[in-house]
Structure 1
Amino acid sequence: MQTERVTTYLAFLRAINLGAKRVFPKGDIRRVVEDAGFEGVETHINTGNVRFESRMRSRERIERVLEKAFMADRGFEVPTIVYSAAEFRAVAQQTRELADAHPGIARHYVYLLKDELTPGQVADVEARADGRGRMVVSGRAAHGLLEPGYQEGAVDPLSAAKLLGVATNRNANVIRTLAEKWCDA
């Protein structure tokens, strides 16, 4: 009898720990993910980064299971974006390549997307380029490459986030750290 293979996944929770009403400490996140039936659960910093293992193969199904569990535990919606470790490793590689190709950027944000954009949506997002920076979309990731002098403290100075659908962002350092820690990259 053949056993189903376990796959490593990374989940990124959107809009948590942004005020008094959307609090979701990483210890509670870990507990809820374990209670939902996932194994090998780890969290990284308190911004909604979770690593776990599952025999489930459907990313969409995993997202639904987690979102339902988070809602039951917290009482508010927690949009969740899931990548396999292999998919995330590719995002980290893109992040490295873009950083190497643009050595003078001041900030590099990576928007992790729930769904791939259509070619028209990609064109709209990438058309946001101006003197403050540019957006580069690849698969389910959109990279905000911000030039020196962009509005300091602004995560979305190009106003592209509203075009991305359900997404959450992390800076390039977090992407690299998670890939090294959880994806053997």
Structure 2
Amino acid sequence: MPTYVAFLRAINLGRNRTFRKDAIKAATEAAGGTDVETYINTGNVRLTHPARSVAKVRAALEEAYAAEAGFDVPTIVFTTRDLAALTARAEEVHAGHDGEIGNHYVTLYASAPSAAAVAEVQALEHAEETVVVEGRAAHVLLGGDIHTSKLLSSRQFNALGQGTARTIKVLRTVTEKWC
């Protein structure tokens, strides 16, 4: 069976939208996942699944997560091979901006943003803020803090679609553990 890594969006942010690791594991198994592992409490899940497409795995997980959590849990799914390639590319992007950045976040999407949205966001110019969008990932390189980023709060970035962000450190760790 293929192995996948799922990234859950907007869970465990304060008292609302709580979805703990044990409940995530149970819901993942209810969706047909086996060999389930989680990493930290922000919604990083490794699983094997009989479905042969990311879209089918995503649909099964989102249905099971909503049933277990009591709210919708948007989920971004990658094969381990695709995640390893994405993380390798993140390392290249990071190295290309070494010394210029303090924080490197990667926003992951269920499907690639439109070419028009990518062109608009990549045309933005904010001091110490860069975005590189490739496929289903937007690499956000910040000299400052995520909470004060003009790029991340821009209409153009939001036009890329609903995604979930992870630091490059989390992607490295998940890739080392599971890919």
TM range (shorter): over 0.9
8 Å Cα contact 1:12-1:48 kept in structure 2:
yes
When normalised by structure 2's length, the TM-score is 0.93
Name 2:19's counterpart in structure 1.
24
Unpaired runs of 5+ in structure 1?
A: 1-5
Matched length: 175
8 Å Cα contact 1:36-1:69 kept in structure 2:
yes
CA distance in 1, matches of 2:5, 2:12: 19
CA distance in 2, matches of 1:34, 1:181: 20
8 Å Cα contact 2:32-2:50 kept in structure 1:
no
CA apart distance, 1:90 = 0.9
Name 1:71's counterpart in structure 2.
66
1:12-31 CA distance string (max 9 Å, x none): 00010012120001111011
CA distance in 2, matches of 1:153, 1:145: 10
2:131 is equivalent to residue 138 of structure 1: no
CA apart distance, 1:156 = 4.7
2:7 is equivalent to residue 12 of structure 1: yes
Name 1:90's counterpart in structure 2.
85
Most deviating of 52-61 and 84-93: 52-61
TM-align CA RMSD: 1.4
**Counterpart secondary structure, 2:113:** coil
Name 1:51's counterpart in structure 2.
46
Query: Could you list the runs of 4 or more consecutive aligned residues of structure 1 that deviate by over 4 angstroms after TM superposition?
Result: none
1:143-167 CA distance string (max 9 Å, x none): 00112xx2x3527541254122120
1:79-111 CA distance string (max 9 Å, x none): 000000011011100111011111111110000
**Counterpart secondary structure, 2:147:** coil
8 Å Cα contact 2:126-2:150 kept in structure 1:
no
2:108 is equivalent to residue 115 of structure 1: no
When normalised by structure 1's length, the TM-score is 0.90
CA apart distance, 1:69 = 0.5
> Match of 1:85, as an amino acid?
T
1:154 aligned residue (120, 126, 147): 147
CA distance in 1, matches of 2:11, 2:177: 22
Distance 1:153 1:176, change over 3 A: same
Distance 1:91 1:29, change over 3 A: same
Distance 1:32 1:23, change over 3 A: same
8 Å Cα contact 2:142-2:149 kept in structure 1:
no
CA distance in 1, matches of 2:165, 2:148: 9
CA distance in 1, matches of 2:148, 2:165: 9
1:43-97 CA distance string (max 9 Å, x none): 0000000000112112111111111111111110000000000110111001110
- Percent identity, please: 43
Unpaired runs of 5+ in structure 2?
A: none
